[in-house]
Amino acid sequence: MPALRHGLLGMSGRRLVPLLIFLVALLAIGIRYQHQMGRMTAEVEAIEAQRLRDRLGIDQNRLDVRMGMSDPLMLRRIVGALGLHDGMDHAYLVSPQNVVLASLSRADIGRTLDEALAQVDERERLRALFNGPVRTGIDISVVREASLLTGWVTLLDGHRLGVLVDISVPLAQRRQQAQRELAVEALAALGVATLLALLLHLIWFRRAQKLVTALEHMGAGDLSARAGLTGEDELALIGRATDHMAGQLETDRAVALHLSELVNRSPLVVIEWRLAPGWPVHYVNDNIRQWGYDPHALVAGGVPFVSLLHPDDAGWVGAEVDRFLEHGPDEYHQEYRILRADGATAWVHDHTRHERNELGQVVRISGILLDISAQKEAQQAQREQAELLRMFYELPFLGMAISSPTDKRWMQVNDQLCEILGYPREELLRKNWAEMTPPGDLERNVALFDELIAGQRSGYRMSKRFVRKDGRMVHAEIDVRAVRDERGQVRQLFATIQDVTERHRYEQTLQQMQDQMLKAQRIGNMGSWTMDLRRRTFVASPQALVIYGTDPGRPEMTLEEADALVVPEDRALVREAVRRGASTGEPSDLRCRVLNPVRGVRHLHVRAEFEPEDGQFVRCVGMVVDETDLVEAQRDRDRLVSVLEATPDIVSMANPRGEVFYYNRAGYEVLGLPEDAPLADAIGRVHPEWAVRIVKEQGIPVAIAQGRWLGETAVYGADGREIPMSQMILSHHGADGQLMYLSTILRDISERKVAEAALREQGRVLAEAQELSRMGNWRIDLPSRQVSWSRGLFPLLGFDPDADQASMENFMASMHPDDRPRMQQTMREHLAGKDGDTRVVDHRVVTPAGVRYLETRARLSCDGQGKPMRLFGTTMDVTERVLASQVVTDLKDMLEQAETVSLLGSWAGDAETQRLNVSAQLFRNLGLEPAARPPTDAQYLDRIHPDDRPMVMDDMRTIRAGGPPKDFVFRTNPAHGPVRWMRRTARRIDRSAEKLQPRYIGTLLDITESVHAEEQLRHINQALEQRVAERTAQLSQANQELEAFSYTVSHDLKAPLRGIDGYSQLLVEEYGDKLDEEGRHFVRRIRHGVQQMGALISDLLEYSRMERRDMAAGPVAIRPLVESILESFHADIERQGAQVRTGLEDFTLALDREGISVVLRNLIGNALKFSRDSSPPVVEIGSCLKNGCRVLWVRDNGVGFDMKYHDRMFGIFQRLHRAEEFPGTGVGLALVAKAVQRMGGRVWAESAPGAGATFYLEFPL
């Protein structure tokens, strides 16, 4: 098969397509042949079977007549005549004793059937025919594999006729005719296929071959080849597109060759890398030779490109490429160094591009490399030159020089340096700087120089002296920097020299002035300081260091250290002043605090000015004064004022005449007084008239006399509202006792007034709540033995709150005598407890209303030494709760008694908490003593029969896991006594909505007695079943006898009828021409009566059999069954021109197939019979679902019937029409009713005379 597939796929289209056309034509011819042969065979078999059926139908009556006449010669003649039938090879008339009565061979007569068939080739088929299941009437079967027909005829008294017909001759004749017809069709199909193949070859394949030739030339590299096809068909369009593509490719190739030539002439290196570690070279052009590499060797050897990179650049180049490969971009530039083949270094500019597939994966990396070494060298030279120029000319007021790192000689100097040192340029260039440095500075300078040359520092700065040519000493500050090459070696030294001789002299003078200033600062307890914002330094004078409390030997500190001296609360103020001064140059004048380690917090007055430098305020000079003593004095004075001003109370002062001269801030705000308002007469303005009288008549006189007065008055608020006040007036006297002034303190008591009202309201609400909840509260002051009750407690104890007193004696007197000792003992124990101990006591009291149940909750309060001080709590009437609890207890006792009587134990479990509760009876059912805790798993399982433990353990695991429980029965362990049978039930309560595991409740019932009763019942049932089986056997024997009797009756009744029918048939056939019309009428009436009687006997036997036989219910597809029954009535439907409508969907019913067939055949036959006179007759068959049942109906448009005869017509022998109008036996509907009843259904009808009838069948689903 692979070779064949390869050969077909390798074949050219002009050969393959015609071949496929011929193959398709041959396949179609073969399919047509098979179809025609099958159809022809079925037609021949049907025709021959019908011919055989017709012949056997004729001979059946003749044979029955002759057998009734006991005429064996005529039987042989009739059977022998069958040999004239085409293909009739074998025919045997066999008696009930299997003796051949007639055959096509005389030798077979009188022999047994087996003896007659012994020498027959088709004996096995004939034996199967005669030994098969009993058939009724005429049965024709087709043996397709042998081209045979078998026929079976049931005759009188158990006689049988079997025939075997060879139909191979008509099959062969019909097959030859069909083959001739198919040969003509096959020749026509092959002719059409041949014409189509020639047409494709001439019109299509020659043009396709031309196109293929052109494409082959193009594929070989000849882009000048053209297909040259004309027209507008698909090949022409492909040819023109191919020619256009070839032209475009030819142009592109020319351009590519030109570009390749240009690239090879340029210094560009075109390169492509493989996607592998190290980026092996996949392609590179010849320009790689400029770096000494052979391109072919690089590609052939798969040299990693990373090996060509400079070691210092390989890492960062690889990291960048990896990042670009992962995240993009897909086009980028890099500059790095590569190693030439001779070991030198070359700078390259790399322009790389990535190509990605549809999944975003990089599939190709290519780039262009350009040697930029010359550019890099030029850039380096430019940078060095620019650096030199900048160093020499950027600061022209400084002395500048370039010196040698080896011999310290001056190599270049500027004019300023020559002027500073007093040497001409030529003479100075012949010296080195070490010769001009005095011994005191030379050692330090040389040490810094050596560290610079060794690479330990990049440069250095120092102050030193130079010896001028004239011998004078020059003070200078120098700054030296090294210029290094690519290898890091020092090429030359660049230095700046600044002459600071004058500055040095000024510094000495300044030092003298500073000494004088320091003395003045020490005397005035002030200090000075300077702050450099650029250097972040803070330098303080000695006296300032004393004020700050820092190390006198360390005058300079960082700004951070100086900032840390300021207390945290003032740092933001100081920082803001510094920031503002540095930004604008604004002087600062502020007061702040510092933390002196020795003297504590000091209050300082600081002033500072900012000096500009290079356009920025980076230097600050200031002074500081220690004002701590002054601040503390002012603080004492302000403390009292701040208290007065800060208090929310109104404070005022008045002279001895009562004229007010002072109000604090609260007074102005509360009273709404303007700042400039006169205060002398304020008493009359701020107080209501009634309060003024109290102040003047009571307050002031009492205060003057006694020194103090306290009362309640009021003032007008800023909004004019009267504000209640608690007012105190004090008198202040001098040393001589004279009154100096009066002071008043007014406190707003509005909230207190509101709180008092709210407290009164809260007390009322609490009293109402206690009354409604039948609760009261109480309190006992233990040291004083004082007792207080709420009003709600009095009625609970049976007292009147208006007439009785709260006391311990009354409390104990109201208590039930039986509870009084327990209450007293509880109180003694409570008083011996700790602070906060709470006790709850239930007790009874005796009231005029009767005995009540109370719940008292008490809490103990102790002092710091643990001594009891107070006992307080609540008392609630819980009579209803106690009584309800007693009812629950009684019900529980009743339940326990019921469980004991019924041997029913109960249990409840929680899968969430794994807790289990069991009743006492459950313990007893297991043979255990009841306990407060449920039995353990080990105890529970030990009480269970060993064979039942695995089942119980599985159930325990299921319930603990929250699974669905099962009900089961188990036995107890015989080791603990007689075996008892237990039924365990359980119900699951789902709590998933609460996100909790389920709860379970269940029972454990002792069913031992029930099990024993069931065992006895089982023995009784077995005995009963044996008696039923015996009775059933007797009934079965009776049924068999009844069936035999029915068969005998049928045979005895039908045998005379067959004789009458046979003789009347012979009378008509042999003497019909001798009878007159009346005689022939009599014979027809005799034959009709005989046939009617035969049908009646058959229907009665069918009705009897329907009553006796077993109904085998099974799934029956109704729609195919109805279609099969309608097919059997096909001749009647065609003859009457009836319209049959079926609206049945596909469904099945569990019915007896034979029974439902009898029902539907009778109903459909009746519908066709009674609607034959309608024009046209219409029969409708349908079904529906109704009330859980399937309803079938058969409806016709026939004569109908009167509904008053509805019940009567389902009885046997009941007819609503005369037999002359509609023939029948009157048994059909009775048979329908009996069958439907046996199958558990219901049948009824609806009709009206002349309006047709509808018969309904209802079967449960």
Question: Is the pLDDT reported for residue 767 higher than 70?
Answer: no
CA 1133/CA 1142 separation, integer angstroms:
14
Alpha helix segments (H runs only) across 1076-1227: 1077-1108, 1118-1128, 1130-1136, 1153-1170
Least confident of 480-489, 708-717, 910-919, 1034-1043: 1034-1043
* Strands 345-356 and 526-532, sheet pairing: unpaired
The percentage of the chain sitting over the pLDDT mark of 70, rounded to a whole number, equals: 87
Residue 416 · residue 397 · CB < 8 Å: yes
CA 1036/CA 1032 separation, integer angstroms:
6
Q: Among candidates 335, 319, 324, 314, which has minimal Cα distance to 365?
A: 324
Give the tens place of pLDDT for each residue, 900-913.
Answer: 777 888 889 998 88
pLDDT at 1: 44
Q: Among candidates 795, 791, 787, which has minimal Cα distance to 768?
A: 791
Give the tens place of pLDDT for each residue, 565-580.
Answer: 899 999 899 899 888 9
User: Would you state the structure tokens that stand for residue 1007, as one six-digit string?
Assistant: 């069913």
* Residue bearing the bigger pLDDT, 877 or 17: 877
pLDDT at 200: 66
All structural domains of the chain, each given as residue ranges with its CATH number in brackets, are 14-188 (3.30.450.20), 266-371 (3.30.450.20), 377-499 (3.30.450.20), 510-632 (3.30.450.20), 647-748 (3.30.450.20), 754-877 (3.30.450.20), 884-1006 (3.30.450.20), 1008-1109 (1.10.287), 1111-1260 (3.30.565.10)
Question: Is the pLDDT reported for residue 1048 higher than 60?
Answer: no
Give the tens place of pLDDT for each residue, 191-229.
Answer: 877 777 777 666 666 666 776 777 777 777 676 777 777
pLDDT at 546: 86
Question: Is the pLDDT reported for residue 393 higher than 50?
Answer: no
Give the tens place of pLDDT for each residue, 304-355.
Answer: 888 888 888 888 888 888 888 888 888 888 888 988 888 888 999 888 888 8
For residues 1170-1193, average pLDDT: 89
Give the tens place of pLDDT for each residue, 1054-1070.
Answer: 656 666 777 777 777 77
The percentage of the chain sitting over the pLDDT mark of 90, rounded to a whole number, equals: 13
pLDDT at 3: 46
Residue with tokens 């001028």: 468
Residue 910 · residue 997 · CB < 8 Å: yes
* Residue bearing the bigger pLDDT, 461 or 1060: 461
* Element spanning 361, H or E: none
Question: Is the pLDDT reported for residue 1194 higher than 90?
Answer: yes
Residue with tokens 């006189």: 701
Residue 773 · residue 765 · CB < 8 Å: no
Question: Is the pLDDT reported for residue 1261 higher than 90?
Answer: no
Mean pLDDT, the chain, whole residue set: 82
Residue 863 in 3-state DSSP? Answer: coil
User: Three-state SS string across 564-630, please?
Assistant: HHECHHHHHHHHHHHHHHHHHCCCEEEEEEEEECCCEEEEEEEEEEEEEECCEEEEEEEEEEECHHH
For residues 958-982, average pLDDT: 91
pLDDT at 1106: 64
Residue 817 in 3-state DSSP? Answer: coil
Highest mean pLDDT, choosing among 107-111, 188-192, 825-829, 1058-1062? 825-829
User: Would you state the structure tokens that stand for residue 151, as one six-digit string?
Assistant: 């026929």
Q: Among candidates 573, 578, 574, which has minimal Cα distance to 532?
A: 578
User: Three-state SS string across 471-519, please?
Assistant: CCEEEEEEEEEEEECCCCCEEEEEEEEEECHHHHHHHHHHHHHHHHHHH
pLDDT at 1183: 92
CA 253/CA 263 separation, integer angstroms:
15
* Residue bearing the bigger pLDDT, 158 or 1043: 158
CA 655/CA 653 separation, integer angstroms:
7
Question: Is the pLDDT reported for residue 762 higher than 70?
Answer: yes
Question: Is the pLDDT reported for residue 420 higher than 50?
Answer: yes
Least confident of 25-29, 210-214, 652-656: 210-214
* Residue bearing the bigger pLDDT, 230 or 604: 604
pTM for the full model? 0.29
Question: Is the pLDDT reported for residue 231 higher than 90?
Answer: no
pLDDT at 259: 56
pLDDT at 6: 46
pLDDT-based confidence at 844, cuts 50/70/90? very high
* Residue bearing the bigger pLDDT, 271 or 25: 271
Question: Is the pLDDT reported for residue 433 higher than 90?
Answer: no
For residues 493-503, average pLDDT: 86
Phi, psi of 215 (to 5 degrees): -65, -35
**Cα separations in angstroms, 12 against 15, 193, 205, 218, 485:** 6, 18, 10, 19, 76
